[in-house]
Amino acid sequence: MKRKITRRDFGKAALAGIPLVSIALKSKSAFAAAKPNSKIHGVQLGAQTYSFRDLKTIDEVLTALTTVGLSSCELFSPCIEPGGAPAALQRSPDAAERREDLRKWRLSTAASYFEDVRKKFNGAGVEIYSYNISFSADFTDDEINKGFDQARALGARFINSSSSITVARRVAPFADKQQFRVAWHGHSSKDPDQFASTDSFLTGFGLSKYFWANLDIGHYTAWGGDPIQFLKDHHDRIDNIHLKDRKKNDGANVEWGEGDTKICDVLELIKNEKWPIPAFVEYEYPGKGTSTEEVAKCYGFAKKCLGA
């Protein structure tokens, strides 16, 4: 049976087929329509742009966001790096060479490139709330440092990162020096070096005052945790949550409403407590429609949870 591609696989596979070319951005007039507003009863809803992994360009991703009506996002780094969406799902025999090409691109690309992406999104009424660049063990120190520079140029408030506690220890002095917050994305792993359990997040919090949690309520549920309790205990160290529905006991991603994740309860809690925690759709279940259609369904589900 063909293995489902996960977000982590997707990020690694982004090294495949990387040409060192700039990503063309359309003129502002392309997105001159009425700007979206997806703050619902005080809760900012948006999407992780990994959700639109079937799309080919950053312009298509931005069009999808505005078509759905979303005014905030977590920007997935392969969306704007060489080897974006279609190439990212390929495999390459030259992975090491292409990894080095990506490193060179990150180190040499001017801040103005990322500033132009920010201007494009802002012009369409979409905030880049956080930048998802997943630091890994093969990042050089210069590459880690550049990740912070790029997030700042994008206008992001946070870096969100899928990584390990071991790597987080390396990142900590850069976060402290840059005085820029990093939120670690949890998974349902039983590996003690991965961000998954409550204790693993607490370990991360202890490494730097700039380390926060990006609580994926689906993964946390699948791991065996209660996202409601985590929010109550640590809402002041959560930068945003990822919305998805998964079954308990490391169960599958499923269409919203079919799993064990307390999506509506989580959103209602954030609304009632007036916590400034955005909630981003991360579409991962095997849907039947396009990514834009499925994200729109998820957004509609979330709005209904909030009473809209």
Secondary element (H or E) of residue 211: strand 211-216
256, two tokens? 């919203």
Question: In this model, does residue 183 exceed pLDDT 70?
Answer: yes
pLDDT for 34 equals 81
Nearest by Cα to 134 from 31, 288, 15, 251:
15
Q: Which residues contact 199 (CB under 8 A, 6 or more apart)?
A: none
Per the model's pLDDT, the better-predicted residue between 24 and 204 turns out to be 204
In the chain, where the domains are located: 7-19+35-305
Alpha carbon distance 284, 71 (integer Å): 20
CATH number of 7-19+35-305: 3.20.20.150
Find where tokens 């080095």 sit. Answer: 100
| Assigned token pair, 111 | 């801040």
pLDDT digits 0-9 by tens, 240-273: 999 999 999 999 999 999 999 999 999 999 999 9
State residue 94's pLDDT score: 76
pTM reported for the whole predicted model: 0.88
Pairwise pLDDT comparison (28 vs 164), residue with the higher score: 164
Give the angle subtended at the CA of 305 by the CAs of 68 and 49, to the nearest 5°. Answer: 35
From residue 277, how far is each of 77, 206, 213, 234, 245 by CA, in Å?
21, 21, 11, 11, 19
139 pLDDT more than 90: yes
